[in-house]
Chains A and B, each alone.
Chain A
């Protein structure tokens, strides 16, 4: 029991530190987690670590949060998952709370307004570049390009909610999964040599 409590404290410290120093998105925290979990503490081996990273991406939500919940749970169960998620979110929660309070007093100040007027176009650049980099990871075919353009038009021009679009994709992929699973079963049936006198 004592040992588990000590481990929870350790987990909290590690993820608080990761939450505090992870700038620029969840993927930036992967080397940090690897150093702590694989190299320093030896809590998980390299292969399982890489597996875990690809598998947590299949779940919606911020990468940093998902990774912390996953590793917290694998190490120390439900208590570990709570601790890790709380610890990784706490630094940014406190920082943003401070900024939100500050902004309530200072928005409308000409200097701050001009700073943000300069920053906003750079944000467009960051997002565009992020999209460009993401698109390099796809093997594009005609139908994939079509799907992307249609989805873009639906959101940008027709104001269709992204929730609806993602929901449709989930539905389509689930149906195609069912159909495919069915076909594989049929193929196997067909290939099975039928012996005489065997019950079918």
Chain B
């Protein structure tokens, strides 16, 4: 029990510590940890991303809570959720404290410049790995293309697109 909680803490601490850019860029990190420990199948993780999109709150917090609960109940969900926040907490406090000295620093601007292409690569890597278990037949290709079209050409809210996709899943696969 203690061992599991400890490795949950370490894993989600790591996700919080290296999760620059938040959101989609963190998916690759989370998935890497899940694969390492075999806590969740990729399909299940994609379901969580879907749930995270439909409920309030960041993906990192949502996955921490869900994975923690799955692996070790309420205690696990508390530990994983706290662990993913702790690195931000420490670093943001430092930042807020030394704010006036750090502001407009040349180094931070350069760091973001170097990091951005990598974060974009991580987002596309996440898309590829999610696609590996999600794009499995002609029907799923149709849903993917329809969703891309709606995202690009209309102003329909992503939550609505997910709901539409769920409904079409019932009709196409039912």
A: residues with CB less than 8 A from B are 19-26, 51, 55-66, 69-70, 73-74, 78, 81, 85, 89, 91-93, 95-97, 99-101, 103-104, 107, 110-111, 114-131, 134-135, 137-138, 144-145, 147-152, 155-156, 161-163, 165-167, 169-170, 172-173, 176-177, 180
Is there an interface contact between B112 and A95, defined as CB atoms closer than 8 Å?
A: no
Complex: A60 Cα to B35 Cα, angstroms = 21
Is there an interface contact between B173 and A118, defined as CB atoms closer than 8 Å?
A: yes
Is there an interface contact between A163 and B120, defined as CB atoms closer than 8 Å?
A: no
Residues of A within 8 A of B66 (CB): 96, 99-100
Question: Among the listed A66, A107, A131, which residue makes an inter-chain contact with B92, where contact means beta carbons less than 8 Å apart?
Answer: A66
In B88-143, the 8 Å CB interface with A consists of 88-89, 91-93, 95-97, 99, 102-103, 106-108, 110-112, 114-131, 133-135, 140-141, 143
Known pairs A62-B23, A81-B96, A92-B56. 6 more at Cβ < 8 A? A56-B95, A62-B60, A63-B22, A100-B65, A130-B123, A162-B125
Is there an interface contact between A62 and B24, defined as CB atoms closer than 8 Å?
A: no
B: residues with CB less than 8 A from A are 14, 16-24, 26-29, 32, 43-44, 46-47, 49-51, 53-62, 65-66, 69-70, 74, 77, 81, 84-85, 87-89, 91-93, 95-97, 99, 102-103, 106-108, 110-112, 114-131, 133-135, 140-141, 143-144, 147-148, 151-152, 157-159, 161-162, 164-170, 172-174
